[in-house]
Structure 1
Amino acid sequence: MSRSRWIVPVAGAVGFAVIGGAEIALDPAFQAAPLAPAIVLALIVTGTLTTIVSPIAGSLVVTALFPVGTALGLDGPTGVGVLAFFLLPGWAGYRSPPRRSWLAPLGAQLMATAGVALGAMAPDAADASLAAVVWENLFFASLAWVSWIVGIVARGARDRAVRAERLAQALDAEREAREHAILIEERQRIARDLHDAVAHSVSVMTLQVGAVRSTMPADAPQTEMLRGIERLGRESVAELRTAVGMLRRADEALPTAPPTLDRAAELVDDVRAAGLEVVLHESGDPVSLSRVADVSAYRVLQESLTNALRHAPGAAVEVRIARSPQSVVVEVRNGRPTAAAGGEPSTGGGHGLVGLRERLAMVGGAFEAGPTTDGGWRVRADFPNGGPHDR
């Protein structure tokens, strides 16, 4: 039940009781014989409260005050009775559909006719003219019908407002659906462009490297380096296809598993094959990191090694991965470069130190990066243990 269904009738009943009580206490005629107006007032309050359940029935109860009061000896409705006679049919028109609420003003008209007739048949009303009787009946009937029409108009305005609100909500939902469809279409277009522009080129380069390697002697020093480049090319294409699949099917599971820190040794081997001197130290027993933290740890290691490869050529690199029940610490330290290098150290992938800090902040870890006293560079990332694997 909506709040207006009961709060308005209750407020009306209280208002009628206060006004009617004041009328009985202040009117000299009612002071001499308060019983009849008190019964009429009780009828008004009861009928008003009845509108909580049935506005039409409550209106009929209230408008019965006219014949009841006349039968009790009152000379027409009381002041509060006229007010209630006018308001209750309107409330019925507002709360109930027109196909049923017309019974309220019709009942009020019949009650007014009965009340006027009883008043005309009273012994002290012998001199009442027919015109006065007709006018009184027409007056009270008009009050009821006008009140009902006002209620119907107010109900129509309310219904139009509700329909307008629902239409606005439907339009908002349609706009959101259309924007979502446009977003999906744009993602698919980006995926196609990304695949056409990058995946094909990387695949061709990988094949070309393989062709060059096949023409070289098996014991040539460049063979292992080219084999590592081939492997990196294939992995890059696989990761690119994973990203493309995510763009194309945002609501589906990723087609392949992302890399994790378990592949740290493979990554170090690839970097060694590219000509960087790397020493890997791993300590502690395997622990459970969340999938996001595990992927982020691999990315930090990957981008830090790429940074050392680009900006510290010829330098020795030390990688430490320390696992404990509380956290996993990844530390990459390189010495002073022994060959020409340019630019401030930055990480691969176009993310830079800001991207690494964002990765650590996302999983609640700590990140440090900066130069060392021997002219090298150090990156340290501390990943908290997030509980069981969610892979």
Structure 2
Amino acid sequence: MAGAAMALSAAVSWVKGPNGLLETAPTPILATVSAGVAALLWWRRRWPGAVAVAIMVGYVVAFTPLSLSVAMYTVGTAYRRVRTLVVFAAGAFVADLAGLVAGSSPASGLRDSFYVLALIMGMLVVGYGVGVRHDLATEAKAKAEGLEREQHLLTQHAQAEERARIAREMHDVVAHRVGNIVLSAGALKVSPVAREAPQVAKAAEQIREDGHHALEELREILGVLTPGRAAVRAPYFPQPDASQLASLVEQARGRGQSARLEVNGHPEALPPAVQRAIYRIVQEALTNAAKHAPGAAVDLNVDCRLEGVHVGATNGPSDREAGLELPPSGGYGLAGLTERVELLGGTLTAGPHGDSFRVSAFLPLPS
């Protein structure tokens, strides 16, 4: 802007006759002074008032309406007090009047002075309008950001309340009932019936261990859900990994399931997130087979390759009589597994496979 104003001011000095206090000076000197006055616009953003006053003086000396118009526009964008704007407008009027009095050539006529004054005052008004619009836009943006932050805080508060409500319900209902199951299984283990039937004692111990682990995981989840309990939640216990696949299958066999596990490679050397995903896939497949196809054989395979891990689980149809009451199911197991696998960049499919039901997952490995 400053460079363009310098070039145009110098060009106007050559095209239009001399004016101002330097009307008798040679045109090259007048052009140089006009360009010098326009050069002050370089600092118009940092000191808008001082630059405007200096250019007013330059206007009286060398008739620089273009530079004064830009300076007044900048004053309009920089100041908001009406009194300040009136003072600068009065100064511009005085400068225009002084330029009219100082010049005696036809170029300094009254009509030209009115044109210049209208241009200067118009630019001041335009600058003020632009500044006000910028302030309103900034205020609206700040208000929108404030409302967004407020909405975010309200959402966080609602989420915290919902998590606390879920935690209370889980504690009141699930933890209570699972605790009763653990206590009942412990009592059954030491009962006279268990002493006479070792298989009953073994089954009771299995139920007690499963319930105990379920309570540990439930307490961990409650600690995450309950606000403000991050530092006082239940002690952290090791997360499952691929090294526990064999014990997981052995527990299923202890419950009467016919399960076979085939592992190709070393899944225990994989990243922890991938190991947990493999464990949860195998765990969910065994649980679903036990609920929906009791007595069916389950074939599990984990195949570790360079590009990733393939996990498969296939179970045949149930060999039990129809009409057996199944445990309640919310249908979230496979959906949760799908989300877990997709977060790792993999894919999971589950559905009928002939007379069987198959779960197949692929988990990519980092290069």
What TM-score, normalized to structure 1? 0.69
Distance (Å, rounded) in 2 between the aligned partners of 1:28 and 1:43: 12
Q: Which residue of 2 aligns with 1:74?
A: none
Contact 1:364–1:384 under 8 Å retained in 2? yes
CA 1:246 to 1:149, structure 2 compared with 1: closer, same or farther past 3 Å? same
Alignment pair present for 1:223 and 2:201: yes
Contact 2:223–2:229 under 8 Å retained in 1? no
Contact 2:242–2:267 under 8 Å retained in 1? no
Deviation at 1:180, TM superposition (A): 1.6
Deviation at 1:213, TM superposition (A): 2.4
Q: Which residue of 1 aligns with 2:49?
A: 56
**Superimposed CA distance per residue, residues 298-326 of structure 1 (whole angstroms, 9 cap, x where no aligned partner):** 11111111222233333333434445665
Contact 1:283–1:322 under 8 Å retained in 2? yes
Distance (Å, rounded) in 2 between the aligned partners of 1:366 and 1:82: 71
> Which residue, 171, 179, 186 being the options, matches 1:195?
171
Distance (Å, rounded) in 1 between the aligned partners of 2:140 and 2:272: 47
Contact 1:318–1:333 under 8 Å retained in 2? yes
SS in 2 for 1:339: coil
> Which residue, 144, 148, 157 being the options, matches 1:168?
144
Q: Which residue of 1 aligns with 2:36?
A: 46
Q: Which residue of 1 aligns with 2:361?
A: 381
Aligned partner of 1:315: which letter?
Answer: A
SS in 1 for 2:240: coil
> Which residue, 232, 237, 242 being the options, matches 2:220?
242
CA 1:16 to 1:176, structure 2 compared with 1: closer, same or farther past 3 Å? farther
**Superimposed CA distance per residue, residues 18-55 of structure 1 (whole angstroms, 9 cap, x where no aligned partner):** 5x26843xx799xxx99655544543443233122143
Deviation at 1:155, TM superposition (A): 3.8
CA 1:273 to 1:380, structure 2 compared with 1: closer, same or farther past 3 Å? same
Aligned partner of 1:60: which letter?
Answer: V
Contact 1:287–1:324 under 8 Å retained in 2? no
Structure number, greater radius of gyration:
1
CA 1:246 to 1:62, structure 2 compared with 1: closer, same or farther past 3 Å? same
Q: Which residue of 2 aligns with 1:351?
A: 332
Deviation at 1:17, TM superposition (A): 5.0
Contact 1:59–1:88 under 8 Å retained in 2? yes
Aligned partner of 2:194: which letter?
Answer: P
> Which residue, 67, 75, 83 being the options, matches 1:92?
75
> Which residue, 241, 257, 276 being the options, matches 1:276?
257
SS in 1 for 2:361: strand
Deviation at 1:236, TM superposition (A): 1.6
Aligned partner of 1:224: which letter?
Answer: K
Deviates more, 1:227-236 or 1:352-361: 352-361
Deviates more, 1:44-53 or 1:243-252: 243-252
Deviates more, 1:347-356 or 1:214-223: 347-356
Contact 2:37–2:58 under 8 Å retained in 1? no
Contact 1:303–1:349 under 8 Å retained in 2? no
Q: How many pairs align?
A: 351
Distance (Å, rounded) in 2 between the aligned partners of 1:112 and 1:322: 89
Deviation at 1:369, TM superposition (A): 4.8
SS in 2 for 1:319: strand
Identity of aligned residues (%): 28
Distance (Å, rounded) in 2 between the aligned partners of 1:368 and 1:66: 80
Distance (Å, rounded) in 2 between the aligned partners of 1:37 and 1:380: 89
CA RMSD across the alignment: 4.6
**Unpaired stretches in structure 1, ≥5 consecutive residues:** 1-6, 70-76, 125-131
**Unpaired stretches in structure 2, ≥5 consecutive residues:** none
Alignment of 1:1-391 (within 5 A): 7=1, 9-16=2-9, 20=12, 23-24=15-16, 36=26, 39-53=29-43, 54-69=47-62, 77=63, 81-82=64-65, 84-85=67-68, 88-95=71-78, 108=92, 111=95, 115=99, 118=102, 151=127, 155-215=131-191, 216-218=193-195, 220=197, 221-249=199-227, 255-323=236-304, 327-340=308-321, 350-351=331-332, 353=334, 355-365=336-346, 367=348, 369=350, 375-386=355-366
**Superimposed CA distance per residue, residues 172-206 of structure 1 (whole angstroms, 9 cap, x where no aligned partner):** 22222222222222222222122212111111122
Distance (Å, rounded) in 2 between the aligned partners of 1:15 and 1:38: 14
Distance (Å, rounded) in 2 between the aligned partners of 1:141 and 1:367: 76
Deviation at 1:235, TM superposition (A): 1.5
Deviation at 1:228, TM superposition (A): 0.9
**Superimposed CA distance per residue, residues 208-257 of structure 1 (whole angstroms, 9 cap, x where no aligned partner):** 12212221333512221121111111122222222222222599699444
